[in-house]
Amino acid sequence: MITLKHILAIAVLAITIVACKNETQPEVKTVEVSTDNEVKPTLDANATYAKAQFTIKGMTCAVGCAKTIEKKLAKMEGVKSAKVDFSKELAMVEYDQAKVKTSDLATTVTKTAATYAVENMKTVDAFGDTNTTTEQK
């Protein structure tokens, strides 16, 4: 009789353990990811492009600061190319004069972070050229 009680107790215990398993299913989440590979609008072949060169003060690193500013400038509509040199604190932007003004470039830089300041904004014939066509303050 004791053996029968032991067998019954073991059976009930086994059924309870098997039946009460809390199997959690993995939760599937969908996350939207923004990519920097956005398609940039095509550039107008008939547009008049100008080159602006200016100093950016307040950058503290090449990757976080300079590359972020460079990407923001390059994404602007009407901007053909943008290059920011951290070591020289220099930005060089080629843009469509009909769509972008030099003040728009300065605004984009200062809106990126409050620590950035644009100085010595000038339009040039070639990047790195000291012969300027117009200088803005």
Phi, psi values for residue 7, rounded to 5°: -65, -45
Task: Specify the 3-state DSSP secondary structure of 53.
Answer: strand
Q: How confident is the model over 76-103, as pLDDT tens digits?
A: 999 999 999 999 999 999 999 989 999 9
Phi, psi values for residue 90, rounded to 5°: -125, 135
Q: Which residue ranges make up each domain of the chain?
A: 49-136
CATH assignment, 49-136: 3.30.70.100
- DSSP H stretches of helix in 79-119: 102-112
Q: Is residue 47 over pLDDT 70?
A: yes
- The rounded distance, in Å, linking the Cα atoms of 22 and 19 is 9
Q: Please, are residues 117 and 95 in contact by the beta-carbon 8 Å criterion? A: no
Average pLDDT over residues 21-36: 65
